[in-house]
Amino acid sequence: YRAVKGDTLKIEKLDAAEGDAVEFDQVLMIGEGDNVKVGAPLVSGGKVKARVLVQAKDKKVDVIKFRRRQNYRRTHGHRQHFTLVEITGFTGAPRKQAAAAEE
């Protein structure tokens, strides 16, 4: 997922209660603009902090099996669990370089 501070993301179900703080430590790339740090494959020390907003089920998906002329019909429904999180911050981000002042 691509995350920006303050974003809300709908991700696969996490084992956490609503309101809990969670931390993701598998970060592939961190930074913005020219100041980017890319991992090989992961950024060492890079973490994303988030807060769980909602644990819920998604909309129902109907699965239908059908064979023509055989009077064979089967229907099955599925509702996927998901977690809605709000990104609260990052650690391990590269520092912004201060511009050199000319005298």
For residue 97, tell me if it sits in a domain: no
| Residue 100 pLDDT > 60 | no
For residue 23, tell me if it sits in a domain: yes
Q: β-strands 47-57, 35-38: how paired?
A: unpaired
For residue 3, tell me if it sits in a domain: no
For residue 101, tell me if it sits in a domain: no
pLDDT of residue 92: 78
Q: Which neighbouring-strand residues pair with 49?
A: 23, 89
- The residue among 69 and 40 whose pLDDT is bigger is 69
**Stretch 1-23: mean pLDDT, rounded?**
95
For residue 95, tell me if it sits in a domain: no
pTM of the entire predicted model: 0.77
Q: How many domains does the chain have?
A: 1
Instruction: Report the length, in residues, of the chain.
Output: 103
Whether 39 and 29 have beta carbons less than 8 Å apart is answered as yes
Per-residue model confidence as pLDDT tens digits over 41-67: 898 888 999 999 999 999 999 999 999
| Residue 102 pLDDT > 60 | no
Domain that holds residue 17: 8-90
For residue 54, tell me if it sits in a domain: yes
DSSP string, 46-80: -EEEEEEEEEEE---EEEEEEETTTTEEEEEEE--
